Amino acid sequence: MKKLLIILILTFVNIGFAQQYSDHYYKRKTLFESEKDTKNEIIFLGNSITEGGKWKKLFPNKNVINRGISGDVTDGILNRLLEITASKPKKIFLLIGTNDIARGKSIDYVLENTEKIILQIKSQSPKTIIYLQSILPINPNIGKKFSGHKKNNQKIIDANKRLKELAKKLNVKFINLNKKMRNGKKHIKAKYTYDGLHLSKKGYQKWKRIVRKYVE
């Protein structure tokens, strides 16, 4: 009985300290948790596409906070959501899902976790205005990396249709970045990306123009 108890304790400890995400994820998470909360924060929340944005320069007159982490997934957002809502932010712009799909997660999985994220934000910070942004398109004809992402164009389109429905169901604003940044083949326009997945400077400028009226 005593041995069994020790095994159970050790198992619990090992599970508790297992690293589920990248070193970069934990480094960024720790950095975010060390920063002081400020009033009327406008948070851009997501993965590398969000992290790459120079949001303070794009919106210099607003208290815009970058909470993007390269490689992040919906589970990762849920794991760090308490830090996001602690400041009772004025607005949150959420963009997440492309990495989940690239890692084999189903659209159902992305939708279920996205709903959890939105509901937790509403519960933890009821006055926060939430903007759910569509998953960005990819372009398989640009760059040689990220083949796991670039095969998912139709899945991204299908996921976005359901994300739009989810936003309506949860009474949050849906911003269709995808539709406004793609070409006739429904791929992200070449001028908006440098590798077929991540955004160029022109890509971030376009993103800014799309969301500016909601930020300001």
pTM here is 0.90
* H-assigned helices in the chain: 2-17, 23-34, 48-51, 55-58, 74-79, 81-85, 98-102, 107-124, 147-150, 153-170, 177-181, 201-215
Please give the C-alpha separations between residue 211 and each of 29, 33, 80, 96, in angstroms, as whole numbers: 25, 26, 24, 16
* DSSP annotation of 137: P
Q: What percent of the chain has pLDDT over 70?
A: 92
pLDDT tens for residues 117-172? 999 999 999 999 999 999 999 999 998 899 889 899 999 999 999 999 999 999 99
pLDDT digits (tens, 9 = 90+) for 84-131: 999 999 999 999 999 999 999 999 999 999 999 999 999 999 999 999
pLDDT value, residue 18: 64
Q: What are phi and psi of 39, to 5 degrees?
A: -85, 150
Tell me the C-alpha to C-alpha distance, in Å, between residue 168 and each of 81, 89, 107, 209. Answer: 22, 21, 17, 23
User: What are the chain's domains?
Assistant: 38-215 (3.40.50.1110)
Quickly tell me which residue has 């169901």 as its tokens: 169
Decide if pLDDT at 6 tops 60. Answer: no
